Structure 1
Amino acid sequence: MTRPLALHPDRLFPAEARTRDIARALHAGVKDLPIISPHGHTDPSWFAYDHPFANPAELLVIPDHYVFRMLMSQGVPLDRLGIPTVDGSPTESDPRAIWRCFADHYYLFRGTPSRMWLDWVFAEAFGIDVGLEASTADHYYDVVDAALKTPAFRPRALFERFNIEVIATTEGPLDPLDHHRALRASGWEGRVVTAYRPDPVIDPQAINFAGNLRAFGEITGEDIATFAGYLRAHWKRRADFREAGATSTDHGHPSAFTANLAPADIETLYAKVLAGPVTSWEAELFRGHMLVEMARMSVEDGMVMQLHPGVHRSHNDAVLARFGRDKGGDIPTAGEFVHALKPLLDAYGNDPRLTLILFTLDEDVYSRELAPLAGHYPALRLGPPWWFHDSPEGMRRFRERVTETAGFYNTVGFNDDTRAFLSIPARHDVARRMDCAFLARLVAEHRLDEDEAQELAYALAYGLAKQAYKL
């Protein structure tokens, strides 16, 4: 018997009746607020050229590592899911066959946030009212495929339908930003901005680092043979990104380590970096010093800094070799911030011109390190639960561990940090419901007045992100 698909209006709200009623009332006041999406990885070409999405598999399976990593963990080869290979060797090319494979294994997502997001997309975006399984795979494919051929499912129409006020993409230092220029020239009024992610020219252990540096010098017209020229190249690229709407930078380092080297020492280290190869410690030292340089630049040009540390990238060597990076093999590592950030904080932690938003995949450091740091230094704010913890349970744990020390206003609301465009409203819906549930408990326990909870619900859903990211 086919399972019906219906989203319960009280999903994620407390089971206890009185607290649930409070959560309902709070949510009613924020559920229709515009979406501020200040950090993510959607493709700016979608909005620049407004081409239709190709088919259900290309939209919802092939680009989504949340989807294919789960199937791979249960023995489904990535070849069956049409994931492109590094050498161009063939994988499954029939989108309906890929979709059927996904539908056959959809039960694997029971209880996961991916299931919540996808069910929202199927029910709310496409109006499907039966559950996804093998017997309904073709029905789903036909409904979604037909919808994608209509103007209502072009990227700009969906942007407007989802009530997105602003969305930030993320581009690297070698990106020409042509899509953002085309977007501005198009006359469309949707606000899509970029963010500066300089990792490929900051991390000496990045793939093709030497080639990246050469290209960095060429695109900026600077002599990167000297450290001063290298810094000028960053200044120029930051200015280019600000012209494309950027208000933030983003740094995905292996750790939160920072260093503030003397001028002679960084000149010596930079010469080693240019000559290459360097030791692991020298690479860490250079990355750490450059975080301080980026903070100095942010103080001067006003761009908000984001730090996303603590991931072992591409842990599965076989998958990396055959399919490349970003194929679900990234694994969290332990984090440390108190000692790691001290050189940066000694230099700029008390400067109100700097906003540094911290993320972690190590939940143990929330109450021990991050909340006390953000609850003290004017420059620090805490980003929302990230990646593996972008879930109802992760959001609840975040509020419980952070609020007692850092409060609400040293956090920055919610950002979806996703490539999966159609999941954006679903993710914001989950975050708004979870925050309202948390606030409702505080009201029910007489720790917060309901009018204060209403103000906080608005701030968490909309105001804090807009303020923190200067949007």
Structure 2
Amino acid sequence: MTAGPALGPMAGALHERVAGLPIISPHGHCDPRWWAENSAFPNPADLLIKPDHYVFRMLYSQGVPLADLGIGPGGEGRDPREIFKLFVQHWDAFLGTPSRQWLEFTLIRTLGIDTPLSPDTADIVYAQIAEQLASPAFRPRALFDRFGIEVLATTDAATDRLQHHTAIAGSGWLGRIIPTFRPDDVLNPARPNHARALSDLAEMTGSDVACYSDFLDALRDRRSAFRAVGGTATDHDVSDLATCWLDRDAIEALHARAVGGALSGDAARDYYGHMLVEMAQMAAEDGMVMQIHAGSRRNTNAALFASHGPDMGADIPCAIDWGRGLAALLDRVGNNRRLRLILFTLDESSYARELGPMAGHWPCLRIGPPWWFLDSPNGIRRYFDSVVETAGYRNLAGFNDDTRAFLSIPARHDMWRRGVALHLADQVDRGVLTVPDAERLAPYLVRDLALATYKLGAG
């Protein structure tokens, strides 16, 4: 079982060169508690279905209530075996999707399940998975080592106390798990828990966050805390990209309103746009890599959002104007070579139109790999076809899996490695690259580029 398309001779040879390289996972959403405690993973439903919005959004599209999957109101106490059986009843709904490929890879190659999954075998497969998860060989640290992961980054709120990362570092285990600083809750007044996050920031840092200069110092303090336990990057979830730079009086006035919970609409957008520029300036100062994920219209199912809250699979790609949206940020720090800014989009049309040309000019910019809805064999192919001619390879960011589903990481990286091999083989066939060029680029795109982009060391 592979996690991607079949390969011809040239692509197969390139894939063979990189298939066994260590995995670099510099951006994702796994829980650091797993490796701090190293407890057995829970039952198959809690591990493979409930936390994976790729999975439950497809089931929801087939009319399956989220409560029947044990998710949200009414889902409490659902039998995980029944949840798994419900998932298997809709197994064919995943045909043709990368989720199906990832899940099959996970079942067959990661979990060692040789029973074909079907409604008739659901109970058998559930029992086989549960038996594997109870084994010491399937504890988080053992799987991390078995997967050949060189480094894995989690994503953590600015006010996270990082106790799990501290525990990992002090445990004697040699696995490298590092945090990523995600400050949107304290920067964006539109976030529902903005007030609570500000209160937590004040308590953690002993700062008067109502004072704008003290607020900035509190952010610097937290960035330093992340770096102290290995963090090299920040991350920003930006639904409406519109950076701007305000004079001191204007930003202090907006900040006072933000702290008081009285900022919304265009004023909140301007405030957050200014704060993104502040974050870029801090990144240029302290060397942390800045990531912007943009192009998702969040929580488009209003009824589901009201009943279940965010991140229920109803986020949909939307267009982004990168040139105008980043103009203020680039005007202030775009020429600073200490700044490294990785851009991720769900708007494929912007790859060739804006991101490729922009990364091919601005020294700070790198283009992130295909993300979310675009993380697929065809998405990878379109990505390379769209950006390489204007950005080259050195202005890309390598690959990251961006997943909460830890067991899917080998499958996702294998899909990328196959996509790299197919792309490079095609470049050779068309005379764009020589065979030696392709052989040098394959490990670069699979491992070395991500290490360099995220400043993770030589490895």
Q: TM-score range by the shorter chain?
A: over 0.9
Q: 2:5 aligns with which of 6, 12, 21?
A: 12
Q: Which residue of 2 aligns with 1:179?
A: 164
Question: Is this contact kept in 2: 1:81–1:92, CA < 8 A?
Answer: no
SS at match of 1:358: strand
Identity %: 50
Deviations 1:25-66 (A, max 9, x none): 101100000000000000000000100011111110111111
Check the 8 A contact 2:190/2:264 in 1, yes or no. Answer: no
- Structure 2, unaligned runs of 5 or more: none
Which of these residues, 84, 91, 97, is aligned with residue 106 of structure 1?
Answer: 91
CA distance in 2, matches of 1:217, 1:211: 10
Give SS of 2:291's match. Answer: strand
Deviation readout 1:253-276 (Å, 9 max, x if unpaired): 112211111112211221222233
Aligned residue for 2:22?
34
Of 179-188 and 417-426, the range deviating more from structure 2: 179-188
Matched, 1:270 2:255: yes
Give the corresponding residue for 1:226: 211
SS at match of 1:294: helix
1:13/1:434 contact within 8 Å kept? no
Kept in 2: contact 1:79–1:92 (CA 8 A):
no
- Amino acid in the other structure paired with 2:328: P
Partner of 2:226: 241
CA contact (8 A) 1:44 1:180 kept: yes
TM alignment of 1:59-74, pairs within 5 A:
59-74=47-62
Letter in 2 for 1:83: I
Cα deviation, 1:350-406, whole Å, max 9, x if unaligned, reads 111010000001001110011100000000000001111111111111100001100
- Per-residue CA deviation, residues 171-192 of structure 1 (Å, 9 max, x unaligned), is 0012111111111111111000
Partner of 1:455: 440
C-alpha distance in 2, partners of 1:140/1:319? 31
Work out the CA distance in 2 between the residues paired with 1:360 and 1:352.
Answer: 23
Task: Check if 1:203 corresponds to 2:188.
Answer: yes
| 2:459 maps to 1:466 | no
Q: SS at 2:290's partner residue?
A: strand
Alignment of 1:36-435 (within 5 A): 36-85=24-73, 89-91=74-76, 93-435=78-420
Give the match's secondary structure for 2:157.
Answer: coil
Q: Per-residue deviation at 1:131?
A: 2.6
Shift of 1:92: 5.3
State how far apart, in whole Å, the 2-side matches of 1:271 and 1:243 are. Answer: 31
Matched residue SS, 1:129: coil
What is the CA–CA distance in structure 1 between the aligned matches of 2:402 and 2:414, rounded to whole Å? 14
Structure 1 residue 322: Cα displacement? 2.4
Describe the SS at the equivalent of 2:55: helix
- Structure 1 CA distance for aligned equivalents of residues 326 and 346 of structure 2: 16
Q: 1:38 to 1:325 in 2, by over 3 A?
A: same
Counterpart secondary structure, 1:282? helix
What amino acid sits opposite 2:56 in the alignment? Answer: F
Considering only aligned residues, what root-mean-square deviation do their CA atoms show, in Å? 1.2
Comparing 121-130 with 285-294, greater Cα deviation is found at 121-130
Structure 2 CA distance, aligned partners of 1:434 and 1:130?
Answer: 28
**Matched residue, 1:4:** none
User: In the alignment, is the contact (CA less than 8 A) between 2:428 and 2:434 conserved in 1?
Assistant: yes
Does the 8 A contact of 2:243 with 2:277 survive in 1?
yes
Q: Which 5+ residue runs of structure 1 have no aligned equivalent? A: 1-6, 15-19
Paired amino acid for 1:53: F
What is the identity, as a one-letter code, of the residue corresponding to 1:449?
T
Give the AA of the match of 1:129.
D
Runs of 4 or more consecutive aligned structure 1 residues displaced over 6 Å after TM superposition = none
d(CA) in 2 for partners of 1:374 and 1:136? 50
Q: Give the 3 Å change call, closer, same or farther, for CA 63–8 of structure 1 in structure 2.
A: closer
Q: Deviations over 1:92-137 (max 9, x none)?
A: 5211101100111111000000000000001101222343110111
Cα separation, 1, equivalents of 2:47 and 2:193: 30
- How many residue pairs end up in the alignment? 456
Secondary structure at 1:338 match in 2? helix
1:131 aligned counterpart, secondary structure: coil
Deviation at 1:8, TM superposition (A): 5.7
Q: Contact between 2:151 and 2:175, CA under 8 Å: does it hold in 1?
A: yes
How big is each residue's C-alpha offset from its partner over 1:284-336, in whole Å with a ceiling of 9 and x where there is no partner? Answer: 11111111100111111110000012222222122222222211111122111
Q: Is the 8 A contact 1:258 1:342 kept in 2?
A: yes
Structure 1 length-normalised TM: 0.95
